[in-house]
Amino acid sequence: MTTRTLTMLVAMGAAMSALASGGGDDDRDRRRDPVADRIYVEECGSCHVAYPPALLSRASWKAVVGRLATHFGVDASLEPAMGAEINAYLQARASLRDTVDGDGRTALRITETAWFRHEHRPGEHGLYRGVFEQASVGSPAKCDACHRGAAGGRYGEGEIRLP
């Protein structure tokens, strides 16, 4: 076998195991889905942007939607029918991987997941220590302070402006 053939086989093997492992690539595609459900955007996008469903797992969304009356210090409860519809949308589009907080518990926040903390670590991509505490941001949950397309579910590099 030539080195070239071997390299090709190794590359094919890597591609196939990436497919077989599931989750990863699928999730990356899901993260690019626009946030399109009208009821979800209306009801869950009034206080903050309607977060992309693919950034939390099914278990995480279930936990968030299951306790809307005590939602991060506010009452965000919904009529049962509306809650059920939103829940169905989130469950269908959720991340296929577990999303957990730093202690390994089901995450209630995107911003406490390992993915978020890695993607937004200080020192990378112009992010500096204290950037989330800037007056014009206030919290990492204010995605649209930096991601200008966040209200429409767009987080591409071309639409980021740091404060």
Q: List C-alpha distances in Å: 93 to 64, 90, 99.
A: 15, 5, 14
Question: What's the chain's Rg over C-alpha atoms?
Answer: 18
Taking the CA atoms of residue 43, residue 149, residue 130 and residue 74 in that order, the dihedral angle to the nearest 10 degrees is 0
Q: Are the CB atoms for 93 and 20 separated by under 8 Å? A: no
Q: Which stretch binds ligand HEC (CB under 6 A): 4-12, 15-23, 73-81, 93-101?
A: 73-81
53 binds ligand HEC (CB under 6 A): no
Binding of ligand HEC at residue 119 (CB under 6 A)? yes
Residues contacting residue 62 through CB under 8 Å, at least 6 positions apart? 87, 91
Least spacing, CB of residue 16 vs ligand HEC, in Å: 25
* Residue 21 binding ligand HEC, by CB under 6 A: no
Cβ 102 to ligand HEC, closest distance in Å?
Answer: 13
Given a contact cutoff of 8 angstroms between Cβ atoms, the answer to whether 61 and 35 are in contact is no
153 scored as a contact of ligand HEC (CB under 6 A): no
Residue 116 Cβ vs ligand HEC, minimum distance, rounded to whole Å: 7
- Footprint of ligand HEC (CB under 6 A): 31, 43-44, 46-48, 51, 55, 64-65, 68, 71-72, 74, 76, 78, 86, 109-111, 119-120, 125-127, 131-132, 137, 139-143, 145-147, 155-157, 160, 162
